[in-house]
Amino acid sequence: MSSVTKDKINCEVISWPKKAAADKPNPIPLHNQIELPPHGTMLLTSAVFMNIHPSGDLRIWSASPIIITSEKSVRISSTSALGADFARGWHKLPDELKERILYFCTFLASPVDRFTAGRKLNAPYWEYSLLRYLRMTPEIATMAMNLFYKRNEFRLFPCRQTTSRGGMLYPKPHFNRIIRRVVLKIDSIQKAWDNVKKLASGHYGFENMRHVRIVVSAALYFRLPISAPDIPTRFSRWKTGAQSMMADGVTFRCEGELFCQPLGRVELQGLNMTQAEARQYELQVQELVESKVTFKHSGKLT
Protein backbone atom coordinates (compact mmCIF):
# COMPACT_ATOMS: atom_id res chain seq x y z
CA MET A 1 0.00 0.00 0.00
CA SER A 2 1.34 3.47 -0.91
CA SER A 3 -0.05 6.97 -0.62
CA VAL A 4 0.57 10.59 -1.58
CA THR A 5 -0.78 13.71 0.15
CA LYS A 6 -0.94 17.22 -1.29
CA ASP A 7 -3.05 20.30 -0.51
CA LYS A 8 -5.09 18.30 2.04
CA ILE A 9 -5.87 15.69 -0.66
CA ASN A 10 -4.81 12.11 0.09
CA CYS A 11 -4.49 9.43 -2.59
CA GLU A 12 -3.96 5.89 -1.36
CA VAL A 13 -3.32 2.88 -3.60
CA ILE A 14 -5.06 -0.30 -2.46
CA SER A 15 -3.36 -3.70 -2.56
CA TRP A 16 -6.23 -6.14 -2.36
CA PRO A 17 -5.85 -8.96 0.17
CA LYS A 18 -6.73 -12.46 -0.90
CA LYS A 19 -10.40 -12.49 -0.02
CA ALA A 20 -13.53 -13.62 -1.71
CA ALA A 21 -14.54 -11.24 -4.49
CA ALA A 22 -17.79 -10.50 -2.67
CA ASP A 23 -15.83 -8.97 0.22
CA LYS A 24 -14.14 -6.38 -1.99
CA PRO A 25 -15.77 -2.95 -2.48
CA ASN A 26 -16.47 -2.07 -6.09
CA PRO A 27 -14.29 0.82 -7.36
CA ILE A 28 -15.87 3.39 -9.67
CA PRO A 29 -14.37 3.43 -13.18
CA LEU A 30 -13.49 7.02 -14.04
CA HIS A 31 -14.59 8.16 -17.49
CA ASN A 32 -15.93 11.67 -16.89
CA GLN A 33 -15.62 14.40 -14.27
CA ILE A 34 -16.59 13.45 -10.71
CA GLU A 35 -17.19 15.93 -7.88
CA LEU A 36 -15.82 14.88 -4.49
CA PRO A 37 -17.46 16.89 -1.65
CA PRO A 38 -15.47 18.21 1.34
CA HIS A 39 -14.29 15.41 3.66
CA GLY A 40 -15.45 12.90 1.06
CA THR A 41 -13.92 9.54 0.19
CA MET A 42 -14.08 7.76 -3.15
CA LEU A 43 -12.63 4.50 -4.49
CA LEU A 44 -11.68 4.87 -8.16
CA THR A 45 -10.00 2.99 -10.95
CA SER A 46 -8.79 4.41 -14.24
CA ALA A 47 -6.95 3.10 -17.29
CA VAL A 48 -5.20 6.47 -17.72
CA PHE A 49 -3.88 9.28 -15.52
CA MET A 50 -6.37 11.26 -13.42
CA ASN A 51 -6.24 15.03 -12.89
CA ILE A 52 -7.34 16.43 -9.53
CA HIS A 53 -8.49 20.06 -9.38
CA PRO A 54 -8.03 22.67 -7.99
CA SER A 55 -4.60 21.07 -7.50
CA GLY A 56 -4.16 21.12 -11.27
CA ASP A 57 -0.62 19.74 -11.18
CA LEU A 58 -1.67 16.65 -9.19
CA ARG A 59 -1.87 13.81 -11.70
CA ILE A 60 -1.99 10.21 -10.53
CA TRP A 61 -2.34 6.70 -11.93
CA SER A 62 -2.19 3.18 -10.60
CA ALA A 63 -2.95 -0.28 -11.92
CA SER A 64 -4.75 -0.93 -8.63
CA PRO A 65 -7.82 0.95 -7.33
CA ILE A 66 -7.14 4.25 -5.57
CA ILE A 67 -8.87 5.72 -2.52
CA ILE A 68 -9.07 9.52 -2.70
CA THR A 69 -10.01 11.60 0.36
CA SER A 70 -10.05 15.37 0.60
CA GLU A 71 -10.76 18.01 3.23
CA LYS A 72 -12.04 20.34 0.51
CA SER A 73 -14.22 19.98 -2.58
CA VAL A 74 -12.28 18.70 -5.60
CA ARG A 75 -12.99 17.71 -9.19
CA ILE A 76 -11.50 14.48 -10.51
CA SER A 77 -11.28 13.99 -14.27
CA SER A 78 -9.75 11.54 -16.69
CA THR A 79 -6.93 12.56 -19.04
CA SER A 80 -8.27 10.23 -21.72
CA ALA A 81 -8.93 12.01 -25.01
CA LEU A 82 -12.43 11.82 -26.47
CA GLY A 83 -12.39 9.43 -29.38
CA ALA A 84 -14.62 7.62 -31.82
CA ASP A 85 -16.51 5.78 -29.06
CA PHE A 86 -17.51 9.10 -27.48
CA ALA A 87 -18.57 10.53 -30.85
CA ARG A 88 -20.78 7.54 -31.61
CA GLY A 89 -22.39 7.68 -28.19
CA TRP A 90 -22.88 11.45 -28.28
CA HIS A 91 -24.63 11.41 -31.66
CA LYS A 92 -27.10 8.82 -30.36
CA LEU A 93 -28.31 11.15 -27.58
CA PRO A 94 -31.44 13.29 -28.05
CA ASP A 95 -30.85 17.06 -28.09
CA GLU A 96 -32.57 17.61 -24.74
CA LEU A 97 -30.20 15.15 -23.03
CA LYS A 98 -27.16 16.74 -24.69
CA GLU A 99 -28.34 20.11 -23.39
CA ARG A 100 -28.84 18.75 -19.88
CA ILE A 101 -25.32 17.28 -19.83
CA LEU A 102 -23.69 20.50 -21.02
CA TYR A 103 -25.79 22.57 -18.63
CA PHE A 104 -24.35 20.58 -15.73
CA CYS A 105 -20.82 20.97 -17.12
CA THR A 106 -21.00 24.75 -17.70
CA PHE A 107 -23.06 25.84 -14.68
CA LEU A 108 -21.28 28.00 -12.07
CA ALA A 109 -22.52 28.17 -8.48
CA SER A 110 -21.49 31.84 -8.13
CA PRO A 111 -21.94 34.74 -10.58
CA VAL A 112 -19.50 35.17 -13.45
CA ASP A 113 -17.56 38.39 -13.02
CA ARG A 114 -14.41 40.15 -14.21
CA PHE A 115 -12.33 38.08 -11.80
CA THR A 116 -13.72 34.73 -12.99
CA ALA A 117 -13.22 35.74 -16.61
CA GLY A 118 -9.97 37.63 -16.50
CA ARG A 119 -7.75 37.08 -13.49
CA LYS A 120 -5.12 34.33 -13.57
CA LEU A 121 -6.16 33.30 -10.08
CA ASN A 122 -9.47 31.94 -11.44
CA ALA A 123 -8.34 31.01 -14.94
CA PRO A 124 -8.52 27.21 -14.36
CA TYR A 125 -12.15 27.49 -13.18
CA TRP A 126 -13.09 29.64 -16.19
CA GLU A 127 -11.25 27.38 -18.57
CA TYR A 128 -12.71 24.21 -17.10
CA SER A 129 -16.26 25.57 -17.20
CA LEU A 130 -16.34 26.79 -20.80
CA LEU A 131 -13.10 26.92 -22.76
CA ARG A 132 -12.55 23.17 -22.89
CA TYR A 133 -15.97 22.70 -24.53
CA LEU A 134 -15.29 25.41 -27.10
CA ARG A 135 -12.35 23.27 -28.26
CA MET A 136 -14.57 20.27 -29.00
CA THR A 137 -16.92 19.78 -31.94
CA PRO A 138 -18.79 22.76 -33.49
CA GLU A 139 -22.06 21.39 -32.12
CA ILE A 140 -20.74 21.06 -28.56
CA ALA A 141 -19.02 24.46 -28.74
CA THR A 142 -22.21 26.22 -29.86
CA MET A 143 -24.42 24.51 -27.29
CA ALA A 144 -21.92 25.07 -24.45
CA MET A 145 -21.49 28.78 -25.18
CA ASN A 146 -25.24 29.40 -25.39
CA LEU A 147 -25.90 27.50 -22.15
CA PHE A 148 -23.02 29.20 -20.32
CA TYR A 149 -24.34 32.67 -21.12
CA LYS A 150 -28.05 31.86 -20.80
CA ARG A 151 -28.03 29.87 -17.56
CA ASN A 152 -25.31 31.51 -15.45
CA GLU A 153 -25.68 34.76 -13.56
CA PHE A 154 -23.36 37.64 -14.56
CA ARG A 155 -22.26 40.29 -12.08
CA LEU A 156 -22.09 43.88 -13.36
CA PHE A 157 -19.57 46.28 -11.82
CA PRO A 158 -20.32 49.99 -11.38
CA CYS A 159 -17.06 51.95 -11.53
CA ARG A 160 -16.07 55.56 -11.00
CA GLN A 161 -13.44 56.03 -13.68
CA THR A 162 -15.61 56.68 -16.75
CA THR A 163 -17.44 59.87 -15.77
CA SER A 164 -18.10 61.96 -12.67
CA ARG A 165 -21.21 59.82 -12.13
CA GLY A 166 -19.36 56.61 -12.80
CA GLY A 167 -19.67 53.93 -15.44
CA MET A 168 -20.26 50.21 -15.73
CA LEU A 169 -18.09 47.19 -16.45
CA TYR A 170 -20.17 44.59 -18.25
CA PRO A 171 -19.83 41.94 -21.01
CA LYS A 172 -19.44 43.01 -24.63
CA PRO A 173 -22.72 43.65 -26.53
CA HIS A 174 -22.09 40.62 -28.76
CA PHE A 175 -22.38 38.42 -25.68
CA ASN A 176 -24.73 40.39 -23.45
CA ARG A 177 -27.55 39.83 -25.92
CA ILE A 178 -27.31 36.13 -25.00
CA ILE A 179 -27.21 36.72 -21.24
CA ARG A 180 -30.44 36.06 -19.34
CA ARG A 181 -29.50 36.63 -15.69
CA VAL A 182 -27.56 39.54 -14.15
CA VAL A 183 -26.76 40.83 -10.67
CA LEU A 184 -25.90 44.44 -9.78
CA LYS A 185 -24.66 45.51 -6.36
CA ILE A 186 -25.37 49.05 -5.18
CA ASP A 187 -22.70 50.34 -2.81
CA SER A 188 -23.53 54.01 -3.37
CA ILE A 189 -26.84 55.49 -4.51
CA GLN A 190 -25.02 58.59 -5.74
CA LYS A 191 -22.70 56.55 -7.98
CA ALA A 192 -24.82 53.55 -8.93
CA TRP A 193 -28.37 54.87 -9.36
CA ASP A 194 -27.63 56.11 -12.89
CA ASN A 195 -26.37 52.60 -13.70
CA VAL A 196 -29.61 51.08 -12.38
CA LYS A 197 -31.71 53.39 -14.57
CA LYS A 198 -29.63 52.65 -17.66
CA LEU A 199 -29.80 48.91 -17.04
CA ALA A 200 -33.59 49.07 -16.70
CA SER A 201 -33.98 51.22 -19.85
CA GLY A 202 -31.86 48.91 -22.02
CA HIS A 203 -29.00 51.40 -22.41
CA TYR A 204 -26.44 48.65 -21.73
CA GLY A 205 -28.10 46.13 -24.03
CA PHE A 206 -29.15 42.85 -22.40
CA GLU A 207 -32.24 42.86 -24.62
CA ASN A 208 -32.96 39.22 -23.69
CA MET A 209 -32.50 39.64 -19.95
CA ARG A 210 -34.99 37.50 -18.03
CA HIS A 211 -33.98 38.08 -14.41
CA VAL A 212 -32.09 40.80 -12.53
CA ARG A 213 -30.97 40.72 -8.92
CA ILE A 214 -30.26 44.06 -7.23
CA VAL A 215 -28.08 43.76 -4.12
CA VAL A 216 -28.24 46.80 -1.84
CA SER A 217 -25.37 47.16 0.60
CA ALA A 218 -26.61 48.32 4.01
CA ALA A 219 -23.32 50.18 4.44
CA LEU A 220 -24.18 52.64 1.65
CA TYR A 221 -26.04 55.06 3.93
CA PHE A 222 -22.95 55.57 6.12
CA ARG A 223 -20.73 56.71 3.25
CA LEU A 224 -21.04 60.39 4.19
CA PRO A 225 -18.02 62.21 5.69
CA ILE A 226 -17.26 61.30 9.29
CA SER A 227 -17.57 65.00 10.13
CA ALA A 228 -21.33 64.50 10.38
CA PRO A 229 -22.05 64.84 14.12
CA ASP A 230 -23.75 61.50 14.72
CA ILE A 231 -25.20 58.45 12.96
CA PRO A 232 -28.87 59.59 12.97
CA THR A 233 -27.82 62.89 11.38
CA ARG A 234 -25.67 61.13 8.79
CA PHE A 235 -28.49 58.75 7.93
CA SER A 236 -31.05 61.56 7.68
CA ARG A 237 -28.82 63.45 5.25
CA TRP A 238 -28.26 60.30 3.18
CA LYS A 239 -31.97 59.49 3.05
CA THR A 240 -32.90 63.02 1.93
CA GLY A 241 -30.34 62.89 -0.87
CA ALA A 242 -31.36 59.35 -1.91
CA GLN A 243 -35.06 60.23 -2.06
CA SER A 244 -34.27 63.18 -4.31
CA MET A 245 -32.05 61.17 -6.63
CA MET A 246 -34.46 58.19 -6.83
CA ALA A 247 -37.58 60.36 -7.19
CA ASP A 248 -38.70 58.96 -10.56
CA GLY A 249 -38.01 55.31 -9.68
CA VAL A 250 -37.21 52.57 -12.22
CA THR A 251 -39.14 49.64 -13.66
CA PHE A 252 -37.45 46.57 -15.13
CA ARG A 253 -39.13 44.80 -18.02
CA CYS A 254 -38.14 41.41 -16.61
CA GLU A 255 -38.52 39.44 -13.41
CA GLY A 256 -36.24 40.34 -10.53
CA GLU A 257 -35.56 40.52 -6.84
CA LEU A 258 -34.01 42.88 -4.33
CA PHE A 259 -31.63 41.71 -1.64
CA CYS A 260 -30.44 43.81 1.29
CA GLN A 261 -26.93 42.91 2.43
CA PRO A 262 -26.72 43.69 6.16
CA LEU A 263 -23.80 45.30 7.91
CA GLY A 264 -20.99 42.91 8.75
CA ARG A 265 -19.34 42.42 12.11
CA VAL A 266 -16.37 44.66 11.27
CA GLU A 267 -18.66 47.43 10.01
CA LEU A 268 -20.80 47.24 13.13
CA GLN A 269 -17.71 47.51 15.31
CA GLY A 270 -16.47 50.50 13.32
CA LEU A 271 -19.78 52.28 13.81
CA ASN A 272 -20.07 51.11 17.43
CA MET A 273 -23.54 49.70 16.73
CA THR A 274 -25.37 46.51 17.64
CA GLN A 275 -27.23 44.45 15.04
CA ALA A 276 -30.54 45.56 16.57
CA GLU A 277 -29.55 49.24 16.24
CA ALA A 278 -28.43 48.73 12.64
CA ARG A 279 -31.64 46.91 11.76
CA GLN A 280 -33.80 50.03 12.23
CA TYR A 281 -31.77 51.79 9.53
CA GLU A 282 -31.73 48.73 7.25
CA LEU A 283 -35.54 48.56 7.35
CA GLN A 284 -35.80 52.18 6.24
CA VAL A 285 -33.41 51.54 3.35
CA GLN A 286 -35.43 48.46 2.45
CA GLU A 287 -38.67 50.42 2.38
CA LEU A 288 -37.13 53.21 0.28
CA VAL A 289 -35.61 50.93 -2.35
CA GLU A 290 -38.72 48.73 -2.60
CA SER A 291 -40.76 51.85 -3.34
CA LYS A 292 -38.43 52.94 -6.15
CA VAL A 293 -37.49 49.69 -7.95
CA THR A 294 -40.14 47.46 -9.50
CA PHE A 295 -40.02 44.42 -11.76
CA LYS A 296 -42.38 42.64 -14.12
CA HIS A 297 -43.02 40.33 -11.18
CA SER A 298 -41.88 42.29 -8.14
CA GLY A 299 -39.46 40.73 -5.68
CA LYS A 300 -39.17 41.94 -2.12
CA LEU A 301 -35.97 42.72 -0.28
CA THR A 302 -34.90 39.78 1.84
Query: pLDDT of the chain along its 302 residues, tens only?
Result: 456 666 666 767 665 555 545 566 788 888 777 788 888 888 888 878 887 876 556 777 777 788 888 887 777 877 777 778 788 888 999 999 999 999 988 888 888 876 555 444 344 455 567 887 888 889 999 999 999 989 999 988 776 554 444 567 777 778 888 899 999 888 777 677 888 888 999 888 898 999 999 988 766 555 544 444 577 777 787 788 888 888 888 999 999 998 887 777 766 766 677 778 778 888 888 888 888 899 986 444 44
Q: Judge if the upstream peptide bond of residue 54 is cis by omega within 30 degrees of 0.
A: yes
Return the domain boundaries, the chain.
2-78, 95-147, 153-294
pLDDT value of position 14: 62
Angle between helix 138-151 and 95-106 (nearest 10): 60
pLDDT value of position 94: 95
* Helix/strand number for the chain, H first, E second: 11, 16
- Alpha-carbon span 274 to 302, nearest angstrom: 20
pLDDT value of position 54: 67
Strands, DSSP E only, in the chain?
A: 2-6, 9-13, 28-29, 34-36, 40-45, 50-53, 58-60, 66-70, 74-78, 153-159, 167-169, 181-186, 211-217, 250-251, 255-261, 293-294
pLDDT value of position 15: 59
- CA terminus-to-terminus distance, the chain: 53
Q: pTM for the whole thing?
A: 0.69
